[in-house]
Amino acid sequence: MAENRHKSLGLSDEEVLDLFRTMLMARKIDERMWLLNRAGKIPFVISCQGQEAAQVGASYALDRTKDYALPYYRDMGVVLSFGMTPQDLMLSGFAKAEDPNSGGRQMPGHFGQKKNRIVTGSSPVTTQVPHAVGIALAGKMEKKDFVSLVTFGEGSSNQGDFHEGANFAGVHKLPVIFMVENNKYAISVPVSKQLACEKVSDRAIGYGMPGFTVDGNDPLAVYEAVKAAADRCRNGEGPTLIETVSYRLTPHSSDDDDRTYREREEVDEAKKKDSIVTFANYLREQNILTEEIETEMNEEINQIVNDATDYAENASYAEAESAMKYVYEE
């Protein structure tokens, strides 16, 4: 039997199984959304596929009863971990009135849900980075011990808001975890044309914070790095930059065709490292994911995704005139 890697991290068998279940849930919702898009039922999809391990591994390392998440558009794994439901996500996919993210105002992937401390986001990338710093600043001023986790792609690490936010957090030693989900592509532009440094985490030293690069296909490696970063945050030691390296398994979005800029062999190769496969293998080797449990889990998730799809498809759109609401406080 392969070495048990989760016990030493303080994770029980039940916890790693739950972690995997959330990863699988994200994958299956995402796959359903593609089907719905290709069937002409929803106009747009932007995927988490290939990044579930990083998203869920990081989230599970936090205190999801008090920490804040500032996700980017691929972070279905993060928001599921923080308490958004599959039905919520489907309501967003179908742009229905009950969508808690925006009531159908924003495209899917623009997450936000105050009750779960998932902070609302927009489409211009990286704007959420200074927000995470501001939330951490507020927490420090109010003497709270929560941390704020902000995630973004490696392309976003080129934006000014990344630099300005990271520097601010470094100067004021704020409890922020900057997590770069490096999926190797900013739409069509590969990492080699995005970064002059070898790793995104190399940038950390410029902000006076530690920087780490971990395998983004390994939820336990991500968990370990984020857990240590959260501990540093809560000890008043300031922010951390973590880069999780994995691969974007889908085109950028439902409107993209990635065959125009990358070889199929490259994608096929990446699929061998897909965390949904590799982490399942680990759990099987540990006798945690038994055949029986796996069958049950698949059936349960399929049922949830089916129910969520049906519910969202049949739910109402917002009234047209409601577009006038909530420009200002009412």
Partner 1 sequence: MAVISYIQAVTQALREEMKRDDKVFVLGEDVGKRGGVFRATDGLYDEFGEDRVLDTPLAESAIAGVGIGAAMYGMRPVAEMQFADFIMPAVNQIISEAAKTRYRSNNDWSVPMTIRAPYGGGVHGALYHSQSVEAVFANQPGLKIVMPSTPYDVKGLLKASIRDNDPVLFFEHKRAYRLIKGEVPEEDYTLPIGKADVKREGSDITVITYGLCVHFALQAAEKLAEEGIDAHILDLRTVYPLDQQGIIEAASKTGKVLLVTEDNKEGGIISEVSAIISENCLFDLDAPVQRLAGPDVPSMPYAPTMEKFFMMNPDKVEKAMRDLAEF
Which positions are catalytic?
248, 252, 261
Q: Which two tokens stand for residue 103?
A: 């009531």
Q: CA nearest 89: which of 129, 36, 30?
A: 30
Is the Cβ of residue 163 or residue 234 nearer to partner 1 in the bound state?
Answer: 163
| Helices (H), ranges, 105-235 | 128-141, 160-171, 219-234
149 near 179, Cβ under 8 Å?
A: yes
Q: Which is nearer to partner 1, 265 or 329 (CB)?
A: 329
Closest distance to partner 1 from the beta carbon of 169 (Å): 9
Quote the least distance from Cβ 305 to partner 1, whole Å. Answer: 24
CB-wise, 260 or 316, nearer to partner 1?
316
Residue closer to partner 1, measured from CB, 122 or 306: 122
Structure token digits, residue 256: 């993209």
Q: Minimum Å distance from CB 71 to partner 1?
A: 14
- 23, 279 Cβ separation under 8 angstroms: yes
Q: Measured between alpha carbons, how far apart are the two ends of the chain, in Å?
A: 61
User: How many helices (H) and strands (E) would you count in the chain?
Assistant: 10, 7
Closest CB 77 distance from partner 1, rounded Å: 21
Residue 137, CA distances (Å) to 24, 62, 77, 313 in order = 34, 18, 26, 41
Residue numbers at the binding site for partner 1 (CB under 8 A): 68, 99-103, 105-106, 110, 112-114, 119-120, 122-124, 127, 129-139, 141-142, 160-161, 163-165, 167-168, 171, 325-330
